[in-house]
Amino acid sequence: MFGAIAGLVGGAIGVAIALAVGSYDPRHLLGGFALGATLGYVGVIFAAWARARVVANRLIATVCPETGEQVLVRVDPQAAGRATIGEAPQHVVYCSRLGGRPTCSQACASQIRL
């Protein structure tokens, strides 16, 4: 949702720039909107991806579905970045309950939102 709003704002800025340079040709206005919308959307996606990679390096509190206990987990930064843009699920690389690399089903990964 935020990416769509940023795209619309970027598109409006692109139209404003086209008007500011004195171009009233509809093709230039449409081109400015398309370029601004694309850059705005890509910028938001990149920022969300980068933020997820940074946050993934921290311990995250979640509830273990197997035991119902609160645990601290760390997710794979690369998988976290891909999960943010919708390409892959989270992957847990550390679990405080198991004292290291998890050997469970990693069902808690679906609870993690970065």
pLDDT tens for the chain, 114 residues: list them. 556 676 677 777 777 777 777 767 777 777 777 777 777 778 878 888 888 878 878 888 989 888 888 999 888 888 787 777 776 778 888 888 877 777 788 888 888 776
Sequence-ordered list of residues with C-beta below 8 angstroms from that of 1, at least 6 positions apart, any chain: none
Place of tokens 């340079």: 21
Helix residue ranges per DSSP H, the chain: 2-20, 26-55, 77-84
Strand order in the sheet with 70-75: 60-63, 70-75, 92-95
Could you tell me which residues are beta bridge partners of residue 100?
95
One-character DSSP codes across 46-65: HHHHHHHHHHTTS-EEEE-T
Q: Where are the domains of the chain?
A: 2-53, 59-111
What's the rounded Cα separation, in Å, for the pair 60 and 110?
Answer: 13
What one-character DSSP code corresponds to residue 111?
A: G
pLDDT at 70: 92
